[in-house]
Structure 1
Amino acid sequence: MPSDAKAFVYTELQIALPFGDVPWAELNAEIRKQPGFVNKTWLSGIGTGSVGGFYEFDSVENAKRFVTGYFPGEARKFGVAQTTRVFDGSVVVEASRFLNSLHFGGTLGTQPAAFLYTEVQVSAPFDAVPWRTMNPVLKAQPGLLHKTWLSGADNHSAGGFYAFDTIEHAARFATDYFPTEAAGLNAAYTTRLFDAGPVADASRAMASPYFV
């Protein structure tokens, strides 16, 4: 994937729906028309059946246009509440490359079985986040394949989008390791776990770097 990604978007609909019932082919066609869209990885919540996505856009401006213009209409069609987050990709390049981020030139080996989204309730420019200390510890976590660091546009929250080789490894990271990371930052946090299996075809159709 290009190494000059400028923005990422995380979305999740407050819905419980087997991914096989999601009209993803129809939705994909509309999303591909959105200005600045680069790729999307579909998300299917483990234990919740929520539906969402992790997107790459060519700019923060186009990412914001997507979450304020197109996406609320998508949520309205399903009649559900929604979550959206926009992240500045230009500041996380070096940190993400260290962890084999596929959005910054990483290498795809094992296809992921699970995705994990995290966000810590801090407000700090990314160069103030101790990622150089954290990255070697993260790299040693069992089953971690890729991480893309996230830095909140405007609010400077810190987080990540991770790919793991198994659901078990992803769940263990979310419940055992990540709380210690957030405690080190003295902050509340969010973790969301997703099954990569059901979303492979839908994501591949959207040029997701996690499925070839």
Structure 2
Amino acid sequence: MTPKAYVLTELQASLPFSDVPWQRINATLLQQPGLINKTWLSGVGNQSVGGFYAFDSIEHATRFCTDYFPQEARALGVAQTTRIFDTHGTEDASRDMNSVHFGGSLANAPGAFVYTEVWLNASPFSEAIPWRAMNPILKQQPGLLAKTWLSGLHTGTPGGLYAFDTIEHASAFALEYFPTEAAGLNAAFHTRVFNGAVVAAASKAMRSPFYA
């Protein structure tokens, strides 16, 4: 099923992923309306816990962020972050970057993920972002396996979820290359690096396309 929306979550907690009760949480998540799949996220350096979710509609993604997820964060006693992204206009750009959310495939499971978001309103995405010029440069970044382009719902903020072969390559991308891309757009930005190895089993149980 082709996703119509994505949700990114992150809990303000430091918890080794081995201590996360993901089996219990997964069982509840699989009952959420419209959820296609989830990739678990575990922060490098701070061990934050989060996820990247694909939904069949913006309505279901929004309901997840306003209804279910705040209850989960409240039960764990921690503050939370949620963001919703509209896939409209980003499919061609994502397919060109081997996005697993649009039929791409990986020879090996990712060792790390990078999430980025740039603080500017680039709407509509297909007209405001020169992805045809940017993608060839991104494809040259060491260790990059795939990228799913993101466009913030209501904000138009552009970004991406990147899969890398190693944490070292992911960190180098976030620290060295991506700041130059944001500078070229003359905008502030947000980056996060996540460990892909520790979340493999939990993500596979949630039908994550990164671990198919």
Which of 113, 117, 127 is residue 115 of structure 2 equivalent to? 117
In structure 1, list runs of 5 or more residues that go unmatched.
none
Cα RMSD after superposing both structures: 0.7
Q: How many aligned positions are there?
A: 210
Shift of 1:205: 0.3
Contact kept in structure 2, 1:7 and 1:63, CA below 8 Å = yes
Q: What secondary structure, in the 3-state scheme, does the structure 1 residue paired with 2:44 have?
A: coil
Partner secondary structure for residue 38 of structure 1: strand
Shift, 1:87, TM fit: 0.3
1:147 is paired with a residue whose SS is strand
Write the mapping of 1:91-106 to structure 2, written as runs, cut at 5 A: 91-106=89-104
Counterpart position of 1:202: 202
| Structure 2 residue corresponding to 1:60, chosen from 54, 58, 61 | 58
Distance 1:163 1:124 in 2: 23
1:210 partner SS? helix
Give identity over the alignment, percent: 62
1:48, distance to aligned residue in structure 2 (A): 0.3
Aligned residue for 2:138, secondary structure, equals helix
| Residue of structure 1 in register with 2:27 after alignment | 29
Letter in 1 for 2:84: V
Distance 1:177 1:6 in 2: 29
**2:145 partner letter:** L
1:74 aligns with 2:83: no
What's the CA shift string for 1:23-72, capped at 9, x where partnerless?
Answer: 10000011111110000000000000100000000011110000000000
Contact 1:5 1:90 in 2 (8 A): no
Whole-angstrom CA distance in 2 between matches of 1:51 and 1:14: 8
CA distance in 2, matches of 1:14, 1:115: 18
Hey, what's the Cα distance between the residues in 2 that align with 1:91 and 1:61? Answer: 18
Moved over 2 A (4+): none
SS of equivalent residue, structure 1 residue 118: strand
Unaligned runs of 5+ in 2: none
Q: Distance in 1 between matches of 2:89 and 2:80?
A: 26
Q: Which of 39, 52, 65 is the aligned partner of 2:37? A: 39
TM-score, normalization: structure 2? 0.97
Q: How far did 1:110 drift?
A: 1.6
Length-normalised TM-score, structure 1: 0.97
1:147 paired with 2:119, answer: no
* Aligned-pair CA distance for 1:85: 0.4
Aligned equivalents of 2:108, 2:102: Cα separation in 1: 17
Tell me the alpha carbon deviations over residues 125-174 of structure 1, each in whole angstroms, 9 at most, x when there is no partner.
10211111111000111100010000001110000000000111000000
